[in-house]
Amino acid sequence: AQSVTQPDIHITVSEGASLELRCNYSYGATPYLFWYVQSPGQGLQLLLKYFSGDTLVQGIKGFEAEFKRSQSSFNLRKPSVHWSDAAEYFCAVGAGQAGTALIFGKGTTLSVSS
Amino acid sequence: KAGVTQTPRYLIKTRGQQVTLSCSPISGHRSVSWYQQTPGQGLQFLFEYFSETQRNKGNFPGRFSGRQFSNSRSEMNVSTLELGDSALYLCASSPEGTGAGELFFGEGSRLTVL
């Protein structure tokens, strides 16, 4: 069965420091992978997605993620965190077929300290 | 272009009642998906509608139902409410459907069951 694991429930990073949020997935074939962000009281916004090709993908707000098939991972990174990045981050996997649901991880809450 | 609109944003019901939530997708999007978000279970897929047909359904009891209209607007209904139905219900739209592309989320309808 498909699953997504985000090992870190809560992470605190100093403003200006680098960030890496971990995501591991379980899926039989090459999955479609997504990172979404949710600010308090808001819906989810797509940061980036991986379908195929270059394993390093760039997203909005300066985020990037790297797909590593051998590790079944799709970690999210940002070189320098801003206070406005404080939010909850969700990794998700899809089968790549229309009509199939996204499977989300439980999320990682990011706090940014000054 | 207007985003995904969900109404109502907040509502309080008592056990045994029923509730109907509404979602207006982005213009031109034919797929509408519903997700339930709770602190314990995270984001769980409820169902997806595409061109007025339910294309996929998650593992929820029959008390949860939905429909889509010819203008792509969607409603979901929960009958015989239970305390455990308290959650944020998120609607998402996309041109093609889940799994294959980006989902655009609304801000959600927060249901409290007393």
The pLDDT, as a whole number, for residue A99 is 64
pLDDT at residue A46 tops 90? yes
- pLDDT above 90 coverage of chain A, percent: 76
pLDDT at residue B9 tops 70? yes
Q: Give B98's pLDDT tier (boundaries 50, 70, 90).
A: low
Geometric angle at alpha carbon B88, from B83 and A10, rounded to 5°:
105
Q: Is A59 on the interface with B (CB under 8 A)?
A: no
Q: Is A95 on the interface with B (CB under 8 A)?
A: yes
Q: Is B31 on the interface with A (CB under 8 A)?
A: yes
pLDDT at residue A97 tops 80? no
What is the rounded CA–CA span in Å between residue A99 and residue A81?
35
B39 secondary structure, DSSP code? T
Contacts of A106 in chain B (CB under 8 A): 42
The pLDDT, as a whole number, for residue B100 is 64
pLDDT tens profile B11-60? 999 999 999 999 999 999 999 999 999 999 999 999 999 999 998 899 99
β strands within B25-86, DSSP E: 31-38, 42-50, 53-57, 64-68, 74-78
Span A56-76, average pLDDT: 95
Q: Please name the member of B100, B104, B107 whose beta carbon is closest to the beta carbon of A42.
A: B107
pLDDT at residue B112 tops 90? yes
pLDDT at residue A95 tops 90? no
Both tokens of B60, joined, read: 């929820």
The pLDDT, as a whole number, for residue B96 is 74
pLDDT tens profile B57-94? 999 999 999 999 999 999 999 999 999 999 999 999 98
**Better pLDDT: B87 or A53:** B87
Per-residue burial over B41-58, b if 16 or more Cβ lie within 10 Å, else e, is: ebbbbbbbbbeeeebbee
Is B95 in contact with B32 (CB distance < 8 Å)? Answer: no
What is the rounded CA–CA span in Å between residue A26 and residue B93?
25
Longest CA pairwise span in chain A (Å): 43
Q: What is the mean pLDDT of chain A?
A: 92
Span A8-37, average pLDDT: 93
Runs of H (alpha helix) within B1-98: none
A70 secondary structure, DSSP code? G
CA-based nearest residue to A30, from A3, A73, A69, A74? A69
Q: Please name the member of A43, A98, A105 whose beta carbon is closest to the beta carbon of B99.
A: A98
What is the rounded CA–CA span in Å between residue B31 and residue B49?
6
**3-class DSSP state for residue B65?**
strand
Span A71-94, average pLDDT: 96
Is B110 in contact with B12 (CB distance < 8 Å)? Answer: no
> By 3-state DSSP, what share of chain B in percent is helix, strand and coil, each rounded to 5?
5, 55, 45
What is the rounded CA–CA span in Å between residue A9 and residue A84?
19
Single-letter residue type at A81: V
